[in-house]
């Protein structure tokens, strides 16, 4: 007679085969978490009979996670000697960082399935397994024998739990216990959770040591002056008043990235462009603690005048002493809290309500027409704006010249007339166009002119607009990028997300086409994605390059090929070089030449 566990294993195995054959599963046979993972694995096209995972031999063996896990693993290794169990630690991305095994036969098996340091056991590569599910669902789980998606893993059972930073709550990695299938399986989850708590406690002690070192360094520097000072650690940001009044959270990220590049060179100065368009010269030194590198101490000097930033002590919607409103100014369907964006949003909204003729300028794709539509909708009007393009006068009404097209546009209260490319009005039509605009305004029509630059508008036409406002370029409001990405993805379709690591290349891009270009990139990436969210590999190769010069067709093709090879090798330069048939030295040289900025894999 079969034992309960053996009968269960066989039922799960039969259910798995039916699942792979697209047959309907018997109710309550497969645990919900396992079935969800099977569905994700099948959607990703994970193989069922061979383990193929990326390998990255070069990694930081002194990372905080590894250093915190080492004493716990040392203790467990002694307890596991001679047993058929193994303990494994991975980072947050599924890369195996350490492994301890109790007996040789299990060690050989784990080697055959590549469950060893340097390999990646994320669900997207291996399918259903303890490590992958724990990291994907951010909770402890147990995967027993036949519940594994890949048949080569079904001889073992595993329990895993995420390791969290107790200060920030962020998942830093996972602890996994793997053993041969057997009766001891119910105890696995409890053992793993105990080990996770031990690692988290050591990491907290490290954090405390780091924070004390950062606080001491910060107090020493700020004691002697009022220059802007910023202390950046993994879990802590310290800023004096002079720095906090000028910096946002995205500025902290940019400065941390810059500091990490030369934290060992305290006399080096570097100019960094911040998210609001201003520049800061930073002097940096690394701060060390008994637990290792704690972070960076930055002394800043701003090279331009403060932008019109809201006072962080003032609540949104209130007014400063000068009478200028601060805080976000949302319009229907639009997002953003950048001060310049808020300022133009307020101006457009005010002009829409008062029917004040407005000249709106900004680079192509910045959202001039979108702002006008949103502000018009905010007034409660039901009609859509009528757009006449001075560069293509026949677009509004084929066969008519520009003045006639303007006169033919519906006019009156509740109507909007938008004249695009005001600076393209032919000189011979200036008087007639000005007359048509004046007539529309007299009938209560809200008049808006748009163009790229504020200059170049003939005086006769400029006089028709009582206010002028500029829409900022996307590269000058990168603090709004995450919110813009979410907003644009909601327009693309429900359920589409952007992986956090895919946002970094978006931040580094200059976006010459502004929001319109961003929307196009996200649309194409969403169409090409292989999972429920946009990953690094779904972005176009040009976004992984920070080069400033124009490339020839051949150079662009070479850059794209190199980026694609690096993405397929998960950033492993040696593997990418082997696949391309070139040396690793050539890879590094080409990356520098093209400014390729793939994120480091942890």
Question: How would you class 32 by CB atoms within 10 Å of its CB: exposed for 0-12, middle for 13-18, buried for 19 or more?
Answer: exposed
In this predicted structure, the answer to whether residue 321 has a pLDDT above a threshold of 50 is no
Neighbours of 301 (CB within 10 A): 13
The answer to whether the beta carbons of residues 307 and 245 sit under 8 Å apart is no
CATH fold match for the domains 39-205 and 339-472: no
Q: With 90 as the cut, is the pLDDT of residue 268 above it?
A: no
Q: Which uninterrupted H or E stretch holds 59?
A: none
Domain 39-205 has CATH 3.40.50.620: no
Grade residue 397 by pLDDT with cuts at 50, 70 and 90. Answer: very low
* Selected residue with higher pLDDT from 388 and 583: 388
More confident call, 317 vs 184? 184
pLDDT band per the 50, 70, 90 thresholds, residue 435: very high
Does pLDDT of 304 surpass 60? no
Is residue 549 pLDDT above 70, yes or no? no
Model confidence at 508, in pLDDT bands (50, 70, 90)? confident
Q: Is residue 399's pLDDT more than 70? A: no
Q: Which residue in 293, 285, 284 sits closest to 213, CA to CA?
A: 293
**Between these two residues, 457 and 118, which has the higher pLDDT value?**
118
Non-local (6+) Cβ contacts of 11 within 8 A are 29
**DSSP string covering 118-181, please?**
TBB--HHHH-S-HHHHHHHHTS-EEE-GGGSSSGGGTTEEEEEEEEE-TTT--EEEEEEEEEES
Band (pLDDT 50/70/90 cuts) for residue 439 is very high
Q: Does domain 226-308 have CATH number 3.20.20.150?
A: no
Instruction: Using DSSP, state whether 367 is helix, strand or coil.
Output: coil
Share of the chain above pLDDT 90, in %: 26
Specify the pLDDT at position 546: 59
Q: Cα–Cα distance between 516 and 394 in angstroms, integer?
A: 24
pLDDT digits (tens, 9 = 90+) for 237-255: 888 888 877 787 777 878 8
Mean pLDDT of 379-402: 72
Position 443 confidence tier, pLDDT thresholds 50, 70, 90? very high
The answer, yes or no, to whether residue 368 has pLDDT greater than 80, is yes
167 vs 518: which has the higher pLDDT: 518
Strand-pair partners of 20: none
- Band (pLDDT 50/70/90 cuts) for residue 499 is confident
| Span 547-552, average pLDDT | 56
Residue 370 phi, psi dihedral angles, 5° rounding: -65, -40
Retrieve residue 198's tokens: 């031990």
> pLDDT tens digits, residue range 119-147?
999 998 999 999 999 998 889 999 999 99
Domain boundaries, the chain: 39-205, 226-308, 339-472, 501-594
Q: What do you get for the CA distance between the two ends of the chain, in Å?
A: 49
Helices 4-20 and 32-44 pack at an angle, to 10 degrees, of: 30
pLDDT of 225 strictly over 80? no
Q: What is the pLDDT of residue 552?
A: 66
CA distances from 150 to 17, 23, 568 (A): 12, 18, 22
Matching CATH number, 339-472, of 3.30.360.10, 3.30.300.30, 3.40.50.2300, 3.40.50.300: 3.40.50.300
pLDDT at 324 over 50: no
The CA dihedral of 105, 110, 114, 120, to the nearest 10 degrees, is: -160
Strand ranges, E, within 208-278: 229-233, 237-239, 269-273
In the structure, what pLDDT confidence band is assigned to residue 551 with cuts at 50, 70 and 90? low
pLDDT, position 360: 93
Mean predicted lDDT score pLDDT of the chain: 81
Give pLDDT, residue 602.
Answer: 34
Contacts of 215 (CB under 8 A, 6+ apart): 231, 238
**Model-level pTM?**
0.45
What is d(CA 86, CA 509) in angstroms, rounded to the nearest whole number? Answer: 44
Mean pLDDT of 304-316: 40
Reply yes or no on whether the pLDDT at 521 is more than 70. yes
């Amino acid at each position: 007679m079969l034992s309960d566990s053996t009968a269960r294993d066989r039922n799960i195995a039969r259910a798995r085969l039916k699942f792979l054959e697209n047959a309907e599963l018997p109710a309550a046979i497969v645990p919900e978490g396992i079935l969800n993972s099977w569905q994700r694995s099948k959607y990703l096209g994970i193989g069922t009979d061979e383990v193929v995972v990326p390998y990255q031999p070069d990694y930081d063996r002194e990372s905080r996670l590894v250093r915190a896990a080492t004493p716990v693993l040392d203790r467990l290794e002694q307890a596991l000697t001679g047993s058929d169990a193994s303990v494994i630690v991975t980072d947050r991305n599924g890369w195996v960082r350490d492994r301890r095994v109790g007996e040789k036969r299990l060690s050989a098996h784990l080697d055959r399935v590549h469950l060893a340091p340097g390999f990646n056991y994320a669900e997207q590569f291996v399918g259903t397994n303890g490590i992958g599910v724990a990291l994907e669902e951010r909770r402890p789980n147990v995967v027993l024998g036949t519940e594994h998606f890949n048949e080569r893993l079904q001889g073992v059972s595993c329990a895993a739990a995420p390791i969290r930073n107790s200060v920030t709550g962020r998942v830093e990695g996972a602890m996994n216990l793997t053993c041969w299938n057997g009766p001891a399986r119910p105890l696995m989850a409890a053992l793993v959770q105990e080990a996770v708590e031990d690692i988290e406690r050591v990491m907290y002690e490290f954090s405390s040591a780091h924070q004390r070192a950062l606080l001491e360094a910060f107090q020493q520097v700020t004691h002697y002056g009022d220059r802007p000072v910023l202390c950046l650690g993994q879990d802590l940001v310290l800023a004096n008043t002079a720095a906090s009044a000028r910096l946002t959270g995205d500025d902290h990220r940019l400065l941390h990235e810059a500091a990490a590049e030369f934290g060992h060179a305290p006399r080096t100065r570097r100019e960094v462009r911040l998210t609001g368009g201003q520049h800061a010269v930073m002097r940096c030194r690394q701060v060390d603690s008994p637990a290792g590198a704690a972070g960076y101490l930055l002394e800043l000097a701003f090279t331009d005048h403060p932008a019109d930033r809201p006072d962080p002590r003032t609540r949104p919607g209130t007014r400063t002493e000068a009478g200028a409103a601060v805080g976000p100014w949302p319009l229907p369907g639009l997002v953003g809290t950048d001060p310049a964006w808020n300022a133009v949003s307020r101006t457009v909204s005010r002009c829409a309500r008062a029917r004040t003729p407005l000249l709106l300028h900004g680079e192509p794709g910045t959202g001039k027409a979108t702002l006008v539509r949103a502000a018009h909708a905010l007034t409660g009007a039901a009609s859509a704006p009528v757009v006449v393009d001075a560069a293509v006068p026949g677009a509004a009404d084929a066969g008519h010249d520009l003045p006639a097209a303007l006169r033919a546009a519906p006019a009156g209260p509740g109507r909007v007339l938008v004249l695009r490319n005001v600076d393209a009005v032919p000189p011979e039509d200036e008087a007639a166009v000005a007359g048509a605009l004046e007539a529309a305004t007299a009938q209560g029509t809200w008049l808006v002119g748009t163009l790229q630059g504020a200059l170049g508008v003939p005086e006769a036409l400029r006089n028709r607009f009582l206010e002028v406002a500029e829409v900022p370029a996307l590269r000058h409001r990168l603090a709004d990028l995450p919110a813009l990405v979410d907003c644009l993805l909601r327009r693309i379709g429900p359920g589409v997300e952007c992986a956090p690591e895919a946002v970094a290349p978006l931040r580094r891009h200059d976006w010459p086409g502004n929001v319109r270009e961003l929307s196009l990139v996200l649309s194409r990436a969403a169409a090409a994605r292989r999972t429920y969210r946009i990953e690094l590999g779904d972005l176009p190769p040009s976004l992984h390059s920070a080069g400033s010069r124009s490339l020839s067709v051949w150079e662009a093709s070479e850059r794209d090929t190199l980026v694609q090879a690096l993405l397929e090798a998960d950033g492993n330069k040696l593997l990418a070089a082997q696949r391309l048939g070139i040396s690793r030295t050539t890879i590094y040289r080409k990356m520098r030449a093209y400014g390729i900025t793939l994120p480091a894999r942890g």
